[in-house]
Every structure is written in C-alpha cells, then in structure tokens.
Amino acid sequence: MSSMVTSPPELTTIVAHGRRSKRAAWLLHTRPGIAGLMLLGFVLAVALIGPLVAPHNIAQPIGVPGAGPSSAAPLGTDFLGRDVLSRVLHGGLPVLGLSAVTIGLTYLVGLSLGLVAGLSRSLLDPAIMRAVDLFLVFPPLLLLLLLLTGAGTGTGVLIIGIVLVLFPGVARLTRTATLEVSTTGYIEAAIARGEAKVAIMRREVLPNISQAILADLGVRFAAAISLAASINFLGLGSKPPAANWGLMVAENRQIVGTNLWALVVPAILLAALTVSVNLLSDAYVHSRGRSGSK
C-alpha cells in the first residue's frame, strides 16, 4: 500500500491564496507598486466619475474659443468654445475601453499562436511564425493608416489595426518562453502521459511563463495608447464631437498659445495611465521574483 499522503483540496486552495496574498502585500509595499496604484486609481476615478460630475454639455459652446481658465470654465475653452474640463471628464472612458479591448484581443491572439508554435514540435511552428513575421514587415503607423484608409475609420477598425500591430511581438515572446519551458521534466512527463495540448498549455506552460508575459504587458499597453493617440492626432480615430483625451490633444493644438490647458491636461492623463500600468507591471514581476527566491 502506498504511503503517499495527498493534501486536501481545501488546504491546497488556502496555500495558493496565501501565496497570492503575500505577493499582493509585497506589491503594496514597493514604491513602484504604490505609485502605480495611486496613479491608476486617480485616472480610473476621473474616467468613471467624471461624466457624472461634468458641469457642461461636451458639445455645447459656453464661451469664446481658446479662452483661458475662468470661473465658468476652470480649464478654459477649447478651439470651438466648449468647456475643456467637461470634455476631459468625459474623455477617459473611451481611452480605457479601447485600451482594454485592444490589449485583451492582442494577448488572446498572441498567446494562442505563441503557445501552439512553441509546443507543436512540428512544421506548424515555422509556418505560424513566418505568417506572424509578415506583420512585422510594415511600420506600425503605416499599417494602421493603410487599414484605416481602406476599411474606414471606425473604432472597430482601429482596434483590429492596433491588434495586428501588437500581436506579433506577443506571439514571438510567448513562443520563446514556451520553448524554454517545453524541455523541462514536468512538460515532458505531461506529454508522455498523453495529456491534451490545451491542458498542458493551461496547467503547465502558462503559469511558468506568466512572469515574462506580465513584464511585457506594460510595454504593450503603452504602445496601444500611443498608437491610438497618434491616430486620433491625425484625425482618423474618434470623430467630433466625441470627447477623447487623444483627440483633444490633436484638435486643440491650434490654440496652444491662448489656452495651454486644453492640451496639457489630457496629455498628462494619458501619460499617467501609461506610467501607472508600467509601474504595476514592474512591481508585480519584482514581487514574483522576490517570492520565488525565498
């Protein structure tokens, strides 16, 4: 009779929860983690609560175009005389929504292709990666402009375009990380037992490459925001009178001499969102490394 003692499922769950709690506690005790949480919390508060407290209609002019701050418009007016504060408070949700959907789809496509290529051990690997490499031939902004010019300038087209730009990097990173762990004993044992590839990817590979993926997340998120802002700056993204932080920077550049706040405030919020995600990503990866070394 075997003397092996197995842990109850409840105990396993408690141990796993304890490890996650320790990582979360370390995250909150690092300066990058605290700074990232504070910045992200501020941006989320502006984006979620802002539309509820905005003092004016975002499409209704309330004064002279390009006027400076006043009691009626604390951040002045934009190039059409609309309240900058109200448009700033409404401009966060489109940015957050676009970024979240884009990053989600990017990692869904990139992770799937990278995992399949890294574990295939057949001609499927080079076939997938050569197809992925085709998207790296075009400069990112040129690919986006070609797609938007040919297929239209809707939000859906913009999302697809950004995903096409970003997923090759995720796929290549995932494949490289998967190849590194695919020769380890536990992967070889899982394959020898005849486990399904999907189960191996989910239970064995993903947990062991998650640190590399999370380290890459901040970079991809920043790239998604930058690309969306660039497209809006060129007038091919959100259309007036929509309020969007990237669009606000583009449409108010003509009044920079009379009301600098119309450009500076949305630009600062975009930068804060990008920096917060990078700080949280770095802090979490550092916490994983710290907990793994103990």
Ranking 136-140, 268-272, 273-277 by mean pLDDT, the lowest is 136-140
What's the number of domains the chain is made of? Answer: 1
Residue 31 in any domain: the answer is no
Q: How many residues does the chain have?
A: 294
Ranking 77-91, 208-222, 229-243 by mean pLDDT, the lowest is 229-243
Buried-state track 189-224, b at ≥16 Cβ within 10 A, e below 16: ebeeeeeeeeebbeebbbeebebbbebbbbebbbbb
As a whole number of angstroms, the distance between CA 274 and CA 99 comes to: 10
pLDDT higher than threshold 70 for residue 94 = yes
Kindly state the average pLDDT of the residues 141-148.
84
Reported confidence tier of residue 206, pLDDT bands at 50, 70, 90: confident
3-class DSSP assignment, residue 138:
coil
Query: What CATH number has the domain bearing residue 207?
Result: 1.10.3720.10
Q: What is the pLDDT of residues 152-166, one digit of tens each?
A: 777 888 899 899 999
Residue 191 in any domain: the answer is yes
Q: What is the pLDDT of residue 243?
A: 85
Q: Average pLDDT over the chain, rounded to whole?
A: 81
Cβ neighbours of residue 166 under 8 Å, at least 6 residues apart?
A: 102, 106, 110, 220, 223, 224, 227
Reported confidence tier of residue 9, pLDDT bands at 50, 70, 90: very low
- Using a CB cutoff of 8 Å and minimum separation of 24, what contacts does 247-255 make? 247/91, 248/78, 248/84, 248/87, 248/88, 248/91, 251/78, 251/79, 252/78, 252/79, 252/84, 254/66, 254/79, 255/65, 255/66, 255/78, 255/79
Q: Is the peptide bond before 65 cis (omega within 30 degrees of 0)?
A: no
As a whole number of angstroms, the distance between CA 27 and CA 33 comes to: 5
More confident residue, 146 or 109: 109
Q: How many CA atoms lie within 13 A of 264 on its CB side?
A: 9
Residue 290 in any domain: the answer is no
Q: What is the pLDDT of residue 5?
A: 38
Q: What is the pLDDT of residues 41-82, one digit of tens each?
A: 999 999 999 999 999 999 999 999 999 999 989 999 999 999
**Phi, then psi, of 81 in degrees rounded to 5:** 90, 10
Reported confidence tier of residue 288, pLDDT bands at 50, 70, 90: low
* pTM listed for this prediction: 0.78
Put residue 242 in one of left, alpha, beta given phi > 0 → left and psi -120 to 50 → alpha: beta
3-class DSSP assignment, residue 83:
strand
Q: What is the pLDDT of residue 283?
A: 78
Residue 53 in any domain: the answer is no
Q: What is the CA radius of gyration of the chain?
A: 23
Residue 255 in any domain: the answer is no
Residue 107 in any domain: the answer is yes
Q: What is the residue whose two structure tokens read 């925001």? A: 225
Residue 1 in any domain: the answer is no
Q: What is the pLDDT of residue 13?
A: 36
Q: Are 156 and 202 in contact (CB under 8 A)?
A: no
Closest of 232, 237, 260 to residue 152, by C-alpha: 237
More confident residue, 4 or 291: 291
Residue 150 in any domain: the answer is yes
As a whole number of angstroms, the distance between CA 162 and CA 22 comes to: 35
At 166, list the tokens.
Answer: 């970003």
More confident residue, 270 or 288: 270
Q: What is the pLDDT of residue 289?
A: 56
Domain containing 198 equals: 92-242
Q: What is the pLDDT of residues 180-202, one digit of tens each?
A: 887 777 777 777 777 777 877 88
